[in-house]
Amino acid sequence: MWDYTEKTLEHFKNPRNVGKMEHPDGVGQVGSLACGDSLTLMFKLGADGKIDDVKFQTFGCTSAIASSSALTEMVKGKTLVEAAKITNQDIANYLGGLPAQKMHCSVMGREALEAAIQNYKTGETVVRDLPDEHDHVVCACFGVTESEIARVVRENSLTTVEQVTHYCKAGGACGKCWGEIEKIINKVGRLEGEKVERETAKPLTNLQKIKLIQEVIDRDVRPHLQRDGGDLELVDVDGDKVVIAFRGLCAKCPSSALTRVNLVQAKLREHVLPTLTVVEE
């Protein structure tokens, strides 16, 4: 049972500004029903250039609904410049705080707002993806996750926190996450070096493959699952087929298929072999 504040529960039970808007000035959409969380945010500007009306439609958990409701109240009466400065941490603070495992829900509101403002300015309608629920939020001020920081570091060969901030905003506010960002930079550098060594080395023996798969699971997968009361066991490796079994709360989770593909298989393909396929026992 999550420890929600009274204000969060109140916004969940009595959400503000729910509905659809005719002819909005800006529309932003994030997530998808298939992923379990989806939010559409719409706004209209008044004659003074400030947000006069705002509506939202969302599908998600208690914190997702409460965060969306809170955001609509926060942006009313603000200019787009002022509204764009609202961070997901601001949303969480407005609600009196959110459980650490649910901070990704406040990211949904910020992403939807940014997409709506972009839609107003350019006319572009782009559905933005949400961070995976198991993906640790490193920068609480801007809702940037560990995988997003690792991605921009890897794709752009970044070596400093300042560079990371320029690419994805992480570390650009309070600075409390700088140490963690540095660890991610070092980790990506080490993993990339190991990847080059594997690509230039002889093909893995089956024993080496099993050992490496277990190492990746223990290092990059199980900690995410254990934070939410779940776990995972490596059952077998048959060629490029990896057989796993979810344990704990993950065994009964309706999103286990998404976790298997988006987390377990993705990590094993990234760090072991791109041809691996993960299946459940």
Which active-site residues does the annotation give?
35, 105
The dihedral built from the CA positions of residue 196, 231, 256 and 205, taken in this order, carries a sign that is: positive
Collapsed DSSP state (helix, strand, coil) of residue 130: coil
Q: Which helix (H) or strand (E) holds 94?
A: helix 88-94
**In angstroms, rounded to a whole number, what is the distance separating the alpha carbons of residues 27 and 104?**
21
Q: Which residues touch 207 (CB under 8 Å, ≥6 apart)?
A: none
- CA nearest 38: which of 68, 61, 63, 59? 59
8-state DSSP, 157: T
**In angstroms, rounded to a whole number, what is the distance separating the alpha carbons of residues 104 and 130?**
8
Q: Are 113 and 128 in contact (CB under 8 A)?
A: no
Question: How many residues are present in the chain?
Answer: 281
Q: Which residues touch 162 (CB under 8 Å, ≥6 apart)?
A: none
- CA nearest 69: which of 35, 97, 102, 109? 109
